[in-house]
Amino acid sequence: MLKQCKLCGEPASVRVPYARLSLCPKHFTEYVERHVRNTIKRYKLIKSGDRVVLAISGGKDSLALLHILNNLRGEVGFELSALNIDLGIRKDDYSLKAVQISEKYCRELGVELAKVDMKRDFGFTIDEVFSSNHVRRPICSSCGVIKRYVTNKVAVELGANSLATGHNLDDESAVLLSNYVKADIDLLVRSGPMLPSRGERMVSRIKPLYETSEKETTLYNFFKGIQHLEQKCPYASGASTLRLKEVVNALEEEWVGSKIALVRSFNKKIKPILAEHYSKNSKDIDLCEACGYPTSTKICSFCRLKKSVSKNC
C-alpha cells in the first residue's frame, strides 16, 4: 500500500522498492534524475567539455534521457545535441510518427536535432532490407548494424566525442543474462555502460540509463508530460527479449535490487578480467576499404549489407 511521500509527506504515487522509498510525483522525478546523475558519475560517462550526441528513437527511454541530459548539461558542462534516423518503415506510419515526435520534442526543449533519412542519405531503407529476400540475417540484427554504423558516422561528422543511447536497466540486465548463458565472451566484453572509442573515426558509446528501469522511465515521462511513441516497431518479433526481461523481473521480485546487482557486479568484477583476456586476443580495428569507417574486416558489415540490398531489391 502506498503511503506518504518520504520526503515531503504529500500522498505518495510511486513505490521504489529498490530504494525502499514511497514518493510523490515531484520527488519521484527528482529521484530518477539523481539516479541518472549518479550513474554518469559512477561510470565516468560524461565529463566537462564533452560533446555528446544523443540518439533518439522517439521512444520512452531516449526522450526521458533527452529531458534529463538537457537539464544536466549546464551543471556538468557538456554540449548536447540529438540525432534521429528515419529508418523508412512505412507500415502503420511507424517511421513517420517516430520522426515527428522526435522533432517536436527537440523543438520544445530547444535541442539541435541532426536528421538522417536512410533513403536520402544512404540509398536504402529497413523496408528494403526486409524485401530483399536474399538477406538471411534477421531484420532486427540488420537494423542494429545500421543504427550502430549511422549513429557513429554522424556523431563523428558532428565533431562529437560521445554517442549516448537510451538503453535501460531492463535491456542491459536481460542481454547480460543471455550472454552469460551463452558464455558469449565477445559480446560480454563489448557490453557495459561505456564502450570507449577504439581509434580513428569512432566515438565512445555511453548508456546513462544503464541503472534506470523501464518502469522508471515510463513513470518519469508520465509525470513530466513527455509524449513518446508508444507503438512498437512492426518488425519487432521480440519474443525472446521479452521473455528474458520477464525472467530478470521475476528475479527482481524475489530479490529486490538483483537487476542492478547483476550489472554492477559484472562491471566491477567480471568485465575487467574479460577485458584483459580480450585485449590479448582481439582483432585489430582497420578502416573499411569502401567507406573509411572502422571495421575488423576488409569491408564493414554496413557496406556489405548495403551492397546486398541494392543487388537483391
Contact set for ligand AMP, span 151-190 (CB under 6 A): 165-167
Least separation, in Å, of the C-beta of 245 and ligand FES? Answer: 17
The CB-of-99 to ligand AMP minimum distance in angstroms stands at: 8
Find the distance separating the first CA and the last CA of the chain, reported in whole Å: 57
Which residue of 210, 235, 266, 302 would you call a contact of ligand FES, by CB under 6 A? 235
Which residues, 6 or more positions from 311, have their beta carbon under 8 angstroms from its beta carbon? 132, 134
Query: Minimum CB separation from ligand AMP for residue 232, in Å?
Result: 9
Q: Does 236 bind ligand FES (CB under 6 A)?
A: yes
217 binds ligand AMP (CB under 6 A): no
From the list Zn ion, ligand AMP, ligand FES, none, pick the one residue 61 interacts with, judged by a Cβ distance below 5 to 8 Å according to partner type: ligand AMP
Cβ–Cβ < 8 Å for 269, 184: no
Judged by CB under 6 A, does residue 267 bind ligand AMP?
Answer: no
Torsion of CA 121, 124, 129, 135, to 10 degrees: -100
By CB under 5 A, name the one of 2, 3, 8, 257 that touches Zn ion.
Answer: 8
Residue number with CB closer to Zn ion (275 or 291): 291
Smallest distance from ligand FES to CB 171, Å: 14
**Is 143 a residue that touches ligand FES (CB under 6 A)?**
yes
Long-range contacts of 141-147 (CB under 8 A, 24+ apart): 142/305, 143/87, 143/235, 145/301, 145/302, 145/305, 146/85, 146/87, 146/118, 146/302, 146/305, 147/55, 147/85
Q: Residue 24 interacts with Zn ion (CB under 5 A)?
A: yes
Distance between CA atoms of residues 95 and 85, nearest Å: 9
Task: Decide which of Zn ion, ligand FES, ligand AMP, none touches 167; Cβ closer than 5 to 8 Å per partner kind.
Answer: ligand AMP
Burial 209-228 (b: 16+ CB within 10 A, else e): bbbbbbebbbbbbbbeebeb
Is residue 96 part of the contact set for ligand FES (CB under 6 A)? no
If we measure between CA atoms, which residue out of 23, 29, 25 comes closest to residue 9? 23
Within 134-153, the residues that bind ligand AMP by CB under 6 A are: 147
Interface with ligand FES, residue 126, by CB under 6 A: yes
* Residue ranges of E strands in the chain: 14-16, 21-23, 51-55, 79-86, 113-117, 162-164, 194-195, 204-206, 286-287, 294-295
Nearer to Zn ion (CB atom), residue 12 or residue 169: 12
- Pick from 127, 121, 85: nearest CA to 102: 85
CB of 244 to ligand FES, least distance (A): 18
- DSSP state, residue 58: S
Q: Give min distance, CB of 307 to Zn ion, in A.
A: 10
Joined grid coordinates for residue 264: 554492477
- Residue 229 binding ligand FES, by CB under 6 A: no
- Closest to ligand AMP by CB, 73 or 147: 147
- Do 61 and 43 touch, CB atoms closer than 8 A? no
The answer to the question of residue 145 lying near ligand FES (CB under 6 A) is: no
Residue 135's binding partner among Zn ion, ligand FES, ligand AMP, none (Cβ under 5 to 8 angstroms by kind) is none
Chain positions contacting ligand FES, by CB under 6 A: 87, 126, 139-140, 143, 233, 235-236
